Amino acid sequence: MKVCVRFAAAAILLSAVVLLPSLGECENITERMQRQYEELQSFRAQFDQVLTNAASRESEERAGSIEFMQPSLVRWTTVTPEKEVLVVGRKFVWDYYPADEVAFKYRLDQMFSSRTMLRFLSGQANLAEDFVVDKQSEEKGLVHLSLVPKNPEPGLVRAEAWIDPDTALLRGVLIEDFYGNTNRLFLKNIKLNVGLTAEHFDFTPPKGVVVQDSSIEKMLDPGE
């Protein structure tokens, strides 16, 4: 599901780490990353994203903005190639396509059935627990980490992260799924601890929009 794939990348980007000199100190990197995340209250940033299909080798470029507020509120607005608003609120997830005049409504647990994704998004993830840092290098002035999940799942079998050593912020991430499809996302114009409110992450479909509601659980007949 593309919503889960999208948030696997976004969730890793909610953290920040600093440059340390050797692979032997990777545990310190992940510990610092976790502490940074725990202190972060909110952020706003613009993003550039490239989704690549392994089978067709076709890529789709996206751009927009993302806003986050603790404990797990997200507003992800794609501007190009088409407008899309994805909101993770206090009770539901909304995925709204203005051009099609349709909005999809989900329960939180429907979107984040993956344990690793859910823990990242909620701020409970710890790289030392969930990933092995396979390699550390420098790339164009950024620290580049190759991450291998300790418990791979279909939507996440490999990840890469790029960290700005000057600002101690994670600037980019790439995730790869079981089929080799990749999702590469980079942040820019990052602003930390901005003045966001919980109401900013509420969503009400505009008048005339068709709502596809998947949040209502199916009631099973006792005889089934």
Instruction: Give the pLDDT of residue 210.
Output: 96
- Tell me the C-alpha distance between 189 and 191, whole Å: 6
Spell out the residues 6+ positions from residue 111 whose beta carbon is closer than 8 angstroms to its own. 1, 3, 4, 7, 88, 93
Read off the pTM: 0.77
Strand 210-213 relative to strand 102-107, pairing: parallel
Strand 84-88 relative to strand 131-139, pairing: unpaired
* Cβ atoms of 183 and 6 closer than 8 Å: yes
Instruction: Give the pLDDT of residue 143.
Output: 79
Instruction: Give the pLDDT of residue 3.
Output: 54
Residue in the block written with tokens 């390699």: 135
37-96 per-position pLDDT tens digit: 667 788 899 999 999 999 999 999 999 998 988 888 889 999 999 999 989 898 898 999
Q: What are phi and psi of 98, to 5 degrees?
A: -60, -40
Q: What is the mean pLDDT of the chain?
A: 77
Tokens in use for 129? 């627990």
- Tell me the C-alpha distance between 157 and 222, whole Å: 39
Instruction: Give the pLDDT of residue 220.
Output: 37
- What mean pLDDT do residues 204-223 have? 75
**pLDDT more than 70, % of the chain:** 69
221, pLDDT greater than 50 = no
Q: Tell me, what DSSP letter sits at residue 153?
A: B
More confident residue, 68 or 223: 68
| 17-31, 124-138, 203-217: the lowest-pLDDT one | 17-31
User: Quick check: bond before 81 cis, omega within 30?
Assistant: yes
Would you place residue 192 in the very low, low, confident or very high pLDDT band (cuts 50, 70, 90)?
confident
Instruction: Give the pLDDT of residue 103.
Output: 96
Most confident among 91-100, 113-122, 208-217 (mean pLDDT): 91-100
* Overall CATH class of domain 2-213: mainly beta
Most confident among 9-18, 27-36, 77-86, 138-147 (mean pLDDT): 77-86
Domain ranges of the chain: 2-213
| 153-162, 164-173, 200-209: the lowest-pLDDT one | 164-173
